Amino acid sequence: MTAVLNRTLLLILSIVQLISLQSLAQEKQNPFVTRIGEVEVISLSDGVVPTDAYKLLKEEHSGQIDSLLNKFQVENPVNIQVNAFLILLDNKKILIDVGAGDFLNIDSAGKLIESLKMVGYEPKDITDILLTHVHADHSGGLAIDNNIVFPNAIIHLNELEYNYYTDINNLDGMKGMERSFFLKEQVILDLYKDRIKTFKGAKSIFPEIKTVPLVGHTPGHTAYLLKSRHNKILFWGDMVHIKEIQFVFPNLEDIYDIDIEKGKRQRLKVYKTLTHKKITVAGAHIKFPGIGKLNKSEHKYEWIPIK
């Protein structure tokens, strides 16, 4: 696991070095509203994180990444979208993930609060936050300058994820930025320690929302399934980082996965299930608004964005 964390650290360092003037000038994304049965779901943009596709994904054969970036006219480094989602459920205002905040210290991300205000809400209005996992671009927005951002929210988190990131023994062998990132994640969780509710496995958080464990990307990585009437949407966290590549070659190693082999198996399993059941998907790192469905075409999968 230490080797994987070290590779992840190298990628994070590369991300910071790859920020360009173009990425700093990203236009604002207006929130996108859709309905799942009787429930309103709003896509919120936290911005983008420029990432080198060749360092993020490991090719099985030379030219795989090149061919797809060229085909889809995607420049490298790839501006990976960071999406969060607001669910308006009865009297609840529920966020799925909270973006990066000031965690990554880059100007192209950390814009969730601005997006939230564009739909008329303040951080104090949020009642619940469902974290898919504790990576910086999903949980970093919980705190700014080490101060609580969401003063009235209950944080829901897989027990495995919570235990991993609060275990000081996991600091053994960590150095430099790797160590500082882990310590900052611990500080953020400690700020909310009195309002964190952990869960085990598959569980109903609300009558309409249940957890779907998809461990592999992180020890407690979890998706959330919202069902209203006969409609469903799965908020799948980090199943995909670069859709133009990973829907065509789901077997490529993703350096962000703590358990790389399990991460690959989860992707293939989830792709197959969602395609068969025609379930709507909300992806954290798919082009805004990040909502659509998967379609199987020959030996690859295709993303069909919501209209």
Give the model confidence (pLDDT) of 87-139 as tens digits.
999 999 999 999 999 999 899 999 999 999 999 999 999 999 999 999 999 99
Residue 233 has pLDDT above 90, yes or no: yes
The tokens for 156 are: 């829901």
Q: Are 22 and 191 in contact (CB under 8 A)?
A: no
Question: What's the pTM?
Answer: 0.91
Confidence bin at 71 (pLDDT 50/70/90): very high
- Other CB atoms within a 10 A radius of the CB of residue 22 amount to 11
Torsion of Cα atoms, 180 then 181 then 182 then 185, to 10°: 120
139 membership: H or E segment, kind and range = helix 136-139
Confidence bin at 5 (pLDDT 50/70/90): low
Which string of DSSP letters, residue by residue, matches 171-239?
A: GTT--HHHHHHHHHHHHHHHHTGGGEEEE-SS-EEETTEEEEE-TTSSTT-EEEEEEETTEEEEE-SSS
pLDDT value at position 180? 85
The tokens for 105 are: 């210290």
The residue that leads in pLDDT, 250 or 25, is 250
Q: Are 241 and 255 in contact (CB under 8 A)?
A: no
Which three-class secondary structure state does DSSP give residue 3?
Answer: helix
pLDDT value at position 17? 43
> In the chain, where are the structural domains located?
2-305
Residue 25 has pLDDT above 90, yes or no: no
Q: What is the CATH number of domain 2-305?
A: 3.60.15.10
How do residues 149-200 score in pLDDT, each as one tens digit? Answer: 999 999 999 999 999 999 999 989 888 877 888 899 999 999 999 999 999 9
